[in-house]
Amino acid sequence: MYFRISARKLISRIASVIIVSGFIGYLFGHTFLVVSAVSIGLLAWHYNHLFKLINWLWQGKSISPPQANGIWGRIYDGLYRRIRKQRLKQKQLNERIRKFRDGAEALPDAALVLSTELTILWGNKKASQLLGVRWPSDVGQRIDNLIRFPEFAKYVNGGNYDSPCLIISPINNELQLELRMMAYGSDQILLLARDISKIQRLEEMRRDFVANVSHELKTPLTVVRGYVEMVQSSGSSLEPHWQKAFSTIETQVSRMDRLVEQLLVLSRIENNVEDDSHQQVDLSRLILTIVEDVQWLNQEKGHTINDYISPDIFISGNEHELKSACMNLISNAIAYTPAGGVIDVTLSNDGNKIRFSVKDNGPGIKPEHVNRLTERFFRVDMSRSRNTGGSGLGLAIVKHVLNHHNAELSIESEWQKGSEFIIYFTAMVDE
């Protein structure tokens, strides 16, 4: 029930009590005495309820307020109503917190809620199992004081959380963790840690398998190629059907040899994840050398290859890997552009980036295929790839090289009008 009292109504009540008590005192000839007694009694009544209120607020164990009539009864009812409403809100809030915690505990990943100062506010049980962070005993601790890895400190201080951070579990050296940090609300950060040990082991097994199989295939392919060349170069004339058979064998062996070679290159690049081999590379000279080297590939089709290479462009990287990536892009343009086409090779500074592009006027690529081009063994047209000797590994090699050099690949293509493959490198900063 809603209750409201105004100052005017309160003053009129007090005035009424004084007037009535004054009139009664006048009848008995003691006006001041009666008015004073009534005022003192009224004040004592109010102070009595005030003391009851204070005692209930500070020492009372029951949520029910003392019983009273009049205005104090209204006050007690209002306080009791507010207490019930507050308790209901608190109950709803506790229920939401419980649901959040139940959901966080059900996650397969370790979850930590951090403040903007990177102090721990909350964590689930998985955080204790993977990171050794215990809640609530570690509340208030900075996360970088508990996870002491140089790569994690660099990740936290960098402030760029677009890519994950890989570390070994602080409490189990056999576990490899992938850490991700993201904004959580307006003033908190959510840290998620995932165990990727099994994925890493499977990836290592795959890389080792590809490398070993490719290496083992080199010897038999070399033997077969040797015997075929020996037969073809022998003085004895072969019947036409045998000449065709040996020519086909030589073509397929050559194609298989190129595939094995690219698998070995891809395997080496995948396993070379460290930056220790990076050094200053004269990219301008490297691109010019590649353009000269690929001219022999261009003899049959007779493309016009234009090079627009700005001089004295240097980057930090692995020269062998960079040569492999740039060579693949130019070789692809030569292989897939029809005879007599035009290929533009450009290297220039683009603000704080270095832009390398290979543009052709070939058949182009349909939009639905562009996003899959860097997948290994993906080929837009299987029959065309067989004719050109494509293996579907060239752009996969490019992607891994660019990952090692913090570079980006952009593909712009219009169907039946040509394609442009662009690499953006980070320019070297003069110290």
Say whether 302 sits in a helix, a strand or coil. coil
Q: Which stretch of DSSP H or E encloses residue 366?
A: none
Distance (Å, whole) CA 69 – CA 174:
73
User: At 387, is the pLDDT very low, low, confident or very high (cuts 50, 70, 90)?
Assistant: low
- Any residues with CB less than 8 A from the CB of 263 and at least 6 apart, and which? 210, 211, 213, 214, 393
Q: Give the least confident one: 144-158, 227-241, 327-341.
A: 227-241
Distance (Å, whole) CA 400 – CA 407:
10
**Phi/psi of residue 263, each to 5°?**
-65, -40
> In the sheet that 110-115 helps form, which strands lie side by side, from edge to edge?
120-123, 110-115, 188-195, 172-184, 165-169
CA 418 and chain centroid, separation: 33
Is the pLDDT at 271 greater than 80? The verdict is: no
2-40 tens-digit pLDDT: 566 667 777 887 888 888 888 888 888 888 888 888 888
Q: Give the least confident one: 145-159, 310-324, 367-381, 406-420.
A: 367-381
End-to-end CA separation in angstroms for the chain: 76
User: At 308, is the pLDDT very low, low, confident or very high (cuts 50, 70, 90)?
Assistant: very high
Distance (Å, whole) CA 30 – CA 307:
119
Looking only at the bridges linking them, the beta strands covering 304-309 and 342-350 are: parallel
Give the mean pLDDT of the chain: 82
CB count within 10 Å of CB 391 equals 21
Is the pLDDT at 430 greater than 80? The verdict is: no
Distance (Å, whole) CA 354 – CA 421:
14
49-96 tens-digit pLDDT: 888 888 888 887 777 788 887 778 888 888 888 888 888 898 888 888
Distance (Å, whole) CA 389 – CA 385:
6
Is the pLDDT at 390 greater than 60? The verdict is: no
User: At 421, is the pLDDT very low, low, confident or very high (cuts 50, 70, 90)?
Assistant: very high
Is the pLDDT at 383 greater than 50? The verdict is: no
E strand residue ranges, 279-333: 279-282, 304-309, 314-317
Is the pLDDT at 164 greater than 90? The verdict is: no
E strand residue ranges, 288-352: 304-309, 314-317, 342-350
- Nearest to residue 357, comparing CAs of 366, 367, 347? 347
Q: Give the least confident one: 73-77, 118-122, 356-360, 377-381.
A: 377-381
User: At 424, is the pLDDT very low, low, confident or very high (cuts 50, 70, 90)?
Assistant: very high
Distance (Å, whole) CA 318 – CA 49:
85
**Phi/psi of residue 277, each to 5°?**
-85, 0
Per-residue confidence (pLDDT) for residue 300, from 0 to 100: 80
Per-residue confidence (pLDDT) for residue 332, from 0 to 100: 87
Q: Which residue reads 């891809």 in tokens?
A: 266
313-371 tens-digit pLDDT: 999 888 888 988 898 899 888 888 888 889 999 999 988 889 999 999 888 888 888 78
